[in-house]
Amino acid sequence: MKYFVTVGERTLVIEIDGEAVQVDGRPVSASLTSNDQSPEVRLLVNNRAATLAVDGHHEGVWRLVDQGALREVTVEDERSRHIRNFAGTGKAAAAGAVVKAPMPGMVVRIPVSQGDSVAAGGALLVLEAMKMENELKAPVAGVITGVRVTAGQAVEKGQILIELGPVA
């Protein structure tokens, strides 16, 4: 499994295959241990140890305390990254943005309506594909200018689902 871990401005590609771990294509010796009774985890990479306190996490963003410094670490698996990139999230949208179906599926629910304001990362639509529900999120803050689908509708990969305009 491949993960993309972002700390500050740096993104590391971490691949895990059983006991084998690679960071940015280089093999490393790594282990992570935790204690259910404590928020601390112990990370050992190439015989260098670090003890980190987990201050919380929400939607792939972990807040870690490392030697008194608070660090936000984003962890994204390969599938989620692919969906986000295909749906257009992360792209600058000064004039607006569109959210497209990352795969064929069925629209389960749409918690937004035309004219609603949404924050970057806000839920826009839930798409069921391969018996899994995938929540598509706003790539940027904006105003819903168009909802091109309805709940219960089947959609094709690449179909435009929702249009966003810039915040007024």
Task: Kindly tell me if the per-residue pLDDT of 134 is higher than 50.
Answer: yes
- Among 77, 102, 120, the domain boundary falls at 77
**pLDDT per position as a tens digit, 36-63:** 788 888 988 999 998 888 877 776 788 8
Instruction: Give residue 86's pLDDT.
Output: 60
* Domain encompassing residue 30: 2-77
Are residues 65 and 21 located together in one domain of the fold?
yes
pLDDT at 84 over 70: no
Domain-located, residue 66: yes
Residue with the larger pLDDT of the pair 87 and 22? 22
Sheet holding 2-7, edge to edge: 26-28, 20-23, 10-17, 2-7, 69-77, 61-66, 48-58, 40-45, 30-34
| Radius of gyration (C-alpha) of the chain in whole angstroms | 19
Average pLDDT, the chain: 84
12 and 46, same structural domain? yes
Instruction: Tell me the mean pLDDT in the region 130-135.
Output: 85
Residue where a domain terminates, one of 19, 48, 77: 77
Residue 8 scores a pLDDT above 90: no
Its pTM stands at 0.51
Statement to judge: residues 70 and 129 lie in one domain:
no
21 touches 30 (CB < 8 A): yes
Domain end point (choices 46, 77, 108): 77
Count of domains forming the chain: 2
Same structural domain for residues 45 and 107? Answer: no
CATH number at residue 26: 3.30.700.30
Whether residue 111 is contained in a domain is answered as yes
Q: Are residues 107 and 138 in the same domain?
A: yes
Residues 96 and 52 in one domain: no
Domain membership of residue 85 (yes or no) is no
**CA-to-CA distance for 89 and 78, rounded, in angstroms?**
15
Is residue 22 situated within a structural domain? yes
